[in-house]
Amino acid sequence: MKKKKVYDEASISVLKGLEPVKQRPGMYTKTENPLHILQEIIDNSADEAISGNADVVSIQCFEDGSFSVQDNGRGIPIGIHPVENIPTVELVFTRLHAGGKFNKTMNSSYNFSGGLHGVGVSVTNALSEKMDVSVFRDGYEWNITFKNGVVQGKLTRLKKTKRTGTKIRAWPNSSYFDESNIPLKLLERSLLSKAILLPGVTFDLFDEKKELINRWCFPDGAKEYFNSRVEKTNLIVPVWHFEKYVDTKAGFKKGEGLLVFFAFLDDKKIFQESFVNLIPTTGAGTHVSGFKEGVFSAIKGFADKQNLFLKGVKLISDDVFQKACFFISCKIFDPQFQGQTKERLSNRETQKLISSLVKDAYELWLYNNVKDARKICEFVITCAQERQRNQKLSEKKRISNVAVLPGKLTDCQSTNILENEVFLVEGDSAGGSAKMGRNKVFQAILPLRGKILNSWEIDKVKLLSNAEVNNIATAIGIQAHDSVDQYDDSSLRYGKICILADADVDGAHIQVLLVTLFLKHFPGLVKEGRLFVARPPLYRIDFEGKYRKEFGEKVYILDDYELQEKKKMFLKKKVPDNVFRISRFKGLGEMSASQLWETTLSPKNRRLTNIFVDDGSVKTTNKVMNLLMSKSEAPARRKWMQLKGNQAEIDI
């Protein structure tokens, strides 16, 4: 009989300070790269601008991967906190749920801020090797530094100054992120959106040498931006602009409301963007639902009273918005987001507020512009007719189509592509573990047999004659297409397609072949950012004795680089060699179902790399892929390998 493991009072550990962030960074921020922890600092400076206390925010990116953010706001308070008895600036950077945005009164420092949870800059500090904070306040410059989230020395008063504001420089700890570099284009997009929503506030981006990369400042704000995105020749009716903030309305705070620009386009190039207190809500939320509800009710009510509906046509919200552009910026007194990354607003009362404001205003506009209103109704009714025709065709196709889902596919219960995902798994053995370890509610598993063919130069007919490729296409519900314009996601079955292969050379080869397949024959999926590569661990470290309490019974290691970093850390902490054992996984099939869930399938712990190609990188990507995968490029590939071969990490 096996000896039972001890489970007593000492088995229960309590993570203090910033340790929860360090142990589970994915619960607090995005771990693809350090962009989000940089944005947390920028958001704080933007909140100073929202409150009218700053008009310049400067960001500088350094070649060593660090970055700095400086504003001319009031500066973080430096006095001793009345309850915690430490400098307030130290408290802000070293404690979760500490900040100036919880005290929601009309006289508070931040009435309409993007921050909510009080874990913003403290998370940045926890995941940074070093952080240097300078505060310009009360006639002096003050400085405090942190190392791995821990304060180094006391808050120091430096020289006198008339300046006010805060400057923060952080060096992200690369061990917490899949990629150490900040994607510059995404950062620029974020700064652009803030400049749009803060008219008159200047956002500057500098390089290592303090040379200006870009500057954003929009005196006319959102109007200027929206008009630049919309082709006037494609407008069905003039742009509708509406801005309303409540003064007195039951159940809502003074100043809550929205700014919106809305237009119908006879064009496929639509965009729909939303923000809450300057935070981009890419996952939409209750404010967008309220806006759509208000517009839809107004249009449907107008069409009903004008007897514009045709027999058999039933209007739904998608008919109104499938060819509509909108830009929404909401101010919410106490925003509640789903997750720390703030991609989706969840305040229930916000939907009611926005819906009522929009419905009344848009309904009034429709009746004051009857000619344009009738055009809108005719346009959306045509969209409804087209949708109903397509539904009938799809139904006929579904009934007559003899193709069924692949027998090896273990499907998930959910049909919501916002949450469900399919894993394309290398081999039946790993597929079996994945099926048992997955969350059957939203995770599907499709095992693949060996390596698929190199599809870079294969035509569509030959491609779909391959059984494995045909199974993939059938499972995800998308047919192969040559360009993004041909992409039709109406039958898409999963929001995420995740490639899951062994963490060795053969696994990497399978990953490359599958990525090639999607880049060449399913470019629409890649453009939408739906393709991911899962990164299972290559090593496991088992600890003995007292070190289990410090490091855990088992620690999973992604690759050789991460293993070497762990060994350096053990050496620094003087951990004896005989208290830990390093084992190497031969493949996914060697993992148990619970291990596969814990390391690779669980959204909390897993590492997924998003395969995404933006419009500006298509030519470069195709050139590189052609060099690597084209049969005709063998001489150029050989030359490239001779030049770059010394950089390869050989796994024998």
Helices in 1-153 by DSSP H: which ranges? Answer: 19-23, 35-50, 88-94, 120-126
Q: Which residue is catalytic, options 273, 293, 319, 502?
A: 502
Is 482 catalytic? The answer is: no
Q: How many CB atoms lie within 10 A of CB 271?
A: 12
Helix, coil or strand: residue 465: coil
DSSP label at residue 615 = G
Is 489 catalytic? The answer is: no
Query: Can you read off the two tokens belonging to residue 260?
Result: 């919106």
- Give the whole-angstrom CA distance, residue 56 versus residue 217: 10
Burial 573-582 (b: 16+ CB within 10 A, else e): eebeeeebee
Question: Cα 140 from chain centroid?
Answer: 39
Burial 450-476 (b: 16+ CB within 10 A, else e): eebebbbebeeeebbebebbebbbbbb
Q: Which residue is catalytic, options 363, 426, 468, 598?
A: 426
Q: Which residue is catalytic, options 141, 504, 528, 633?
A: 504
Is 459 catalytic? The answer is: no
Question: Cα 487 from chain centroid?
Answer: 23
Query: Can you read off the two tokens belonging to residue 578?
Result: 């005989």
Burial 3-23 (b: 16+ CB within 10 A, else e): eeeeeeeeeeeeeeebebbbe
- Give the whole-angstrom CA distance, residue 81 versus residue 183: 37
Q: Which residue is catalytic, options 19, 32, 334, 506?
A: 506
- Give the whole-angstrom CA distance, residue 517 versus residue 409: 19
User: For residue 421, what are the β-bridge partners?
Assistant: 443, 496
Query: Can you read off the two tokens belonging to residue 47?
Result: 């909140």
Helix, coil or strand: residue 386: helix
Is 426 catalytic? The answer is: yes
Q: What secondary structure does DSSP assign to 543-594, as a single string?
A: E-TTHHHHH-SEEEE-SHHHHHHHHHHHHHTT--GGGEEEEE---GGGS-HH
Residue with tokens 């762990």: 566
Dmax (CA) of the chain: 84
Q: Would you name the residues annotated as active-site residues?
A: 426, 502, 504, 506
